[in-house]
Amino acid sequence: MKEKGTTGMVEKVGIVGCGTMGAGLAELSAKAGLDVRVAVSSDESRNRGLRRITRSLDRGIAKGRISERDRESVLARIDFTTDLGRLADRQLVIESIREDESAKLEVFRTLDKVLEDDRAIIATNTSSLSVARLARATGRPEHVIGIHFFNPVPVLPLVELVESVLTSPETAARAEEFAAATLGKTVIRAPDRAGFLVNALLFPYLLSAIRMVDSGLATAEVVDQGMELGCSHPMGPLKLADLIGLDTTVSIAEAMYEETKEPLYAPPPLLLRMVECGILGKKSGRGFYSYN
C-alpha cells in the first residue's frame, strides 16, 4: 500500500461505471489499499466489470508482477452496487461512464444529492467534455474536477488534472495528492477545453490517419507500419484508434469540433460509418483490424 499524504486523505473511493476505464480505476485504487465501491447499471455490467478486473490481475500473476495473495486482497477491497445512493460515504467519486454529456450530467446531479461529506470530491474521467458544465449540474462546483486517466489505467503513468474556473485550490490540491501520492501517477495540469492537452494533440493525428485510409492513399497496415517503424511509435494510429474504441474516438472528435469548429477535429465519414454499423474496434472484435 502506497503512503498517503495527510491533507484530506482519501480512503474511500467510489467509481461510477465499470467499462475498460472504470475497471482499471477500480483495480488501481484497490491496489493502493483503498476501500473501493463501484456503481454499475445492472448485474450484467457488474459481471463484465469483475471479469475485466480479474483478467487484468491474472495477467499480472502470469507476468510475475503480483502474487495470488495480492490478487485476492485486491478483489476483497472492491464491491459493487447498482444504487448510486450507496456511494454516500465516499470521500472521492470518479465518474467513468460513456462520453455522453446528458448521462454524465444526470450522474453528477445524483451524486450531489447523495454524498454526505461536504468536502467530497466529484471527479470526471471524461476525455473531452467541459468540466465546468458538469460542475454546474451540482450545488458544489468548487469540489468538481477532471482527473483524466489513460488506457490501460493500471499501466500508463500519466494523469491530466483538469480544473474548471469553479474548482477550488483545495480540491485541486487534494485531487493531485490522490493521483500522485496515493495512486503513484505523474500529474500534469491541463486546461478545461475540449480534448484537454493530450487528446488535443493526439486526435488530429488519429483522424488524419483515418482520412488517409478513407481516401485510399494507404491501408491501415501501411499507415501503422510507417509510424511504428519510421517514427518509433509503439503503436500505429489505426491500432490505437481500435484500442481507444471507434465510438469513443467519434465522441471525442465531435466534442472538440463542436467547441473549436476546427476542421482537423471533424470525424471522417469512414469512421462515422464504421461506428453506425457497430464496428467499434477491439471491444467489438472488429475495427480497422480483426480481433477474433
Q: Which of 287, 284, 257 is nearest to 271 (CA)?
A: 287
Q: Which of 174, 86, 195 is nearest to 123 (CA)?
A: 174
**Annotated active-site residue in 99, 160, 163, 176:** 160
**Annotated active-site residue in 45, 96, 125, 127:** 127
For helices 20-31 and 43-62, what crossing angle results, to 10°? 60
Instruction: Tell me which DSSP letter residue 119 carries.
Output: T
Q: Which ranges of the chain would DSSP assign to H, the alpha helix? A: 20-31, 43-62, 68-76, 101-114, 131-135, 169-177, 198-214, 220-230, 237-244, 246-260, 269-276
Q: What is the 3-state secondary structure (H, E, C) of 164-197?
A: CCCCCHHHHHHHHHHHHHHCCCEEEEECCCCCCC
- Could you confirm whether 160 is annotated as catalytic? yes
* All three cell numbers of 183: 495512486
- Could you confirm whether 47 is annotated as catalytic? no
**Annotated active-site residue in 29, 45, 96, 148:** 148
Element containing residue 12 per DSSP (H, E): strand 12-16
- Could you confirm whether 148 is annotated as catalytic? yes
What's the rounded Cα separation, in Å, for the pair 152 and 120? Answer: 26
Rounded (5°) CA angle 182-31-153: 80
Question: Do 250 and 267 meet the contact criterion of CB atoms below 8 Å apart?
Answer: yes
Catalytic residues: 127, 148, 160, 199
